[in-house]
């Protein structure tokens, strides 16, 4: 069994329009929501083997806040440059090349890629928009990541900050 979590970065700040897109920090709301989602994750007693994050500051900060809140070691978060607006094919390649020692993986990245990826999963309901700090869980009854596909992945849940927990 392999488990894939997709986390959209938390709300970013647009207060400094001159910043390069990759350097935009989290907004006040983003700094609040990312740990909330990490706490919900921890309350479900979910387990993470690895977190891969887009190198964008807002994604990296989201991954760190989420990790701290759920008890995942922040120092074990790995930046994955290809998660910065690369498209579904690139995301599938990242998954296919994972070491099989990892049972569960979280990717922290951006829209429109996260939406497109979720909506490519055969068993997933159509999701119009994965909001900031939105989290999707997918599972597949496979032993090797290279066997992951949109047809064998099963949708488990979709959570986001404004959704009532429980």
Confidence (pLDDT) at 156: 97
Mean pLDDT, residues 59-72 taken together: 98
CB 9 within 8 A of CB 132: yes
**Residue 153 included in any domain:** yes
Q: Residue 55: which domain range?
A: 2-11+24-159
**Residue 78 included in any domain:** yes
Confidence (pLDDT) at 62: 98
* 116-164 pLDDT, tens digit each: 999 999 999 999 999 999 999 999 999 999 999 999 999 999 999 998 7
Mean pLDDT, residues 67-91 taken together: 96
* 37-57 pLDDT, tens digit each: 999 999 999 999 999 999 999
**Residue 18 included in any domain:** no
**Residue 29 included in any domain:** yes
3-state helix, strand, coil in the chain (%, to 5): 35, 20, 45
HEC sequence for 34-53? HHHHHHHHHHCCCCCCEEEE
- Count: domains in the chain: 1
Confidence (pLDDT) at 18: 86
**Strand 77-79 relative to strand 2-8: parallel, antiparallel, unpaired?**
unpaired
Confidence (pLDDT) at 166: 46
Q: How far does CA 35 lie from the centroid of its chain? A: 14
Confidence (pLDDT) at 165: 53
Q: Say whether pTM exceeds 0.85.
A: yes
CA–CA distance, 154 with 129 (Å, rounded to integer): 19
The CATH number linked to 41 is: 3.40.50.1240
**Residue 165 included in any domain:** no
């Amino acid at each position: 069994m392999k488990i894939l979590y997709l986390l959209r970065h938390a709300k970013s700040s647009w207060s400094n329009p001159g910043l390069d897109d990759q350097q935009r920090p989290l907004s006040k709301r983003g700094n609040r929501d990312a740990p909330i989602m990490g706490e919900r994750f921890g309350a479900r007693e979910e387990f993470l083997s690895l977190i891969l994050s887009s190198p964008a500051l807002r994604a990296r900060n989201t991954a760190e806040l989420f990790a701290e809140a759920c008890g995942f070691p922040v120092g074990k978060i790995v930046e994955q440059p290809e998660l910065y607006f690369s498209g579904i094919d690139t995301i599938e390649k990242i998954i296919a090349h994972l070491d099989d020692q990892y049972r569960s993986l979280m990717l922290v990245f951006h829209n429109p890629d996260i939406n497109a990826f979720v909506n490519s999963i055969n068993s997933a309901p159509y999701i119009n928009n994965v909001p900031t700090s939105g989290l999707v869980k997918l599972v597949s009854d496979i032993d090797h990541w290279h066997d992951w596909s949109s047809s064998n992945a099963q949708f488990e849940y979709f959570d986001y900050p404004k959704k009532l927990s429980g």
